[in-house]
Amino acid sequence: MRVLHFFKTYWPDTFGGVERSIHALARGCRPYGIEADVLALSPQPKAEPFIFDGHRVTQVKCDLDVASTGFSRAAIGAFRRLAQDADVINYHFPWPFMDMVELMVPHRKPVVVTYHSDIVKQKLLLKLYSPLMHRFLARADRIIATSPNYLASSPILQRYRHKVEVIPLGLDEADYPAVEPQRIQHWQERFPDGFLLFVGVLRYYKGIHILYEAAKLANLPIVVVGGGEAEGDFRRHAHEDGLENLHFLGALEDADKTALLTLCRAFVFPSHLRSEAFGLSLVEAAMAGKPMISCEIGTGTSYVNLNGETGITIAPADPQALASAMQILWNDEALCARYGVAARRRYETMFTAARMTQSYAEIYRQLAGKQVGRS
């Protein structure tokens, strides 16, 4: 059995949350007899398909990128060829060009849509795109929401509630490097008094500006790991303001991130907009057994981090609330330990890659061989 995953980017160009999920599905479904193909756009595509961690990846040239939407003429032909060999097609939403390809290329194969996020930022474009989007979602055989919170708060998902299933995203601990003593020692020497940790790309919805203001109020050591266009601006402002307790480390290797997760007092995740649909970084923190602070934005962040059980949830865009939550965890080691144990338990119960892939494998099997009357 073969499943074709279609998304706008993939390894080695990018490896964010959606890409990690595709990788986990492609690898994790193999024990169930399910092989995967991944079709993705690239600014510099490889001439031939290649094997990445046991599955085949096909790259095609990205001809144009508008409002985070890549377009590719070559993708249409590549999709047609790969769809012929597939038993199920798994789209990863949102990506309007993908909707166009589904409607342009007849394939008569069952369709799964993993619904990673509503379209939040491009409100005007959403109005123009909405008819195409609904036609695309109406054709799906199954839509996967990544949390019950997102299903409940998304008017688009509610419209297709009859064919939505909830399967939380999951991570495989084996994908992460073992803790290296020398890296632990390095970061202990760098931050001997402990620290709070944020990990993620510094995008507009991550709430780093809120963390910045909270750092002024709390005066606690905070480490920020992650690159992005805004990194230089934040570094400069911190220097100008003399904010010596806020440390921007830029993008780091996974081995360093693992060491920092091991050492941190708690994990801080100030994302304040619905563009943060799930928050795999929270799953990484739970996997490491760390208490978490996150915002209640009606998405999967509050499904991963349960207020009063695995950490603290606060109102979004509230520096004072964030500073207070950080102070609570900083001052109460017993509370941190209790939340951390619960976070690890919740990871093992809800957010492993094995659990996610088993659920997807069951859906793929249910749909495989289904006669689909598409044209």
CB burial of residue 33 (10 Å; 0-12, 13-18, 19+): exposed
> What's residue 359's pLDDT?
98
| pLDDT interval class at 307 (50, 70, 90) | very high
CB burial of residue 192 (10 Å; 0-12, 13-18, 19+): exposed
Q: Quote the percentage of the chain above a pLDDT of 70.
A: 98
* pLDDT above 60: residue 374: no
CATH superfamily of 2-172+353-367: Glycogen Phosphorylase B; (3.40.50.2000)
> What's residue 372's pLDDT?
52
> What's residue 340's pLDDT?
98
8 A C-beta contact, residue 88 and residue 364: yes
CATH 3.40.50.2000 in the chain: give the residue spans. Answer: 2-172+353-367, 173-350
- Start-to-end Cα distance in the chain: 22
* pLDDT above 50: residue 375: no
Please write the tens of the pLDDT for every residue from 19-36: 999 999 999 999 999 999
8 A C-beta contact, residue 62 and residue 72: yes
> What's residue 234's pLDDT?
92
Please write the tens of the pLDDT for every residue from 336-353: 999 999 999 999 999 999
- The pLDDT mean for the chain works out to 95
Residues 173-350, CATH architecture: 3-Layer(aba) Sandwich (3.40)
Q: Residue 77 contacts by C-beta under 8 Å, 6 or more apart in sequence?
A: none
DSSP state of 60: E
**E strands within the chain?**
2-6, 35-42, 50-52, 55-61, 64-66, 69-71, 88-93, 111-115, 142-145, 164-166, 196-199, 222-225, 246-250, 266-269, 292-295, 311-314
Please write the tens of the pLDDT for every residue from 188-216: 999 999 999 999 989 999 999 999 999 99
| pLDDT interval class at 16 (50, 70, 90) | confident
* pLDDT above 60: residue 159: yes
Q: How large is the average pLDDT for residues 45-71?
A: 94
Q: Residue 147 contacts by C-beta under 8 Å, 6 or more apart in sequence?
A: 166, 168, 278, 299, 300, 303, 304
Q: Residue 198 contacts by C-beta under 8 Å, 6 or more apart in sequence?
A: 208, 211, 222, 223, 224, 225, 226, 267, 268, 269, 270
Please write the tens of the pLDDT for every residue from 109-152: 999 999 999 987 766 777 889 999 999 999 999 999 999 999 99
In this prediction the pTM is: 0.93
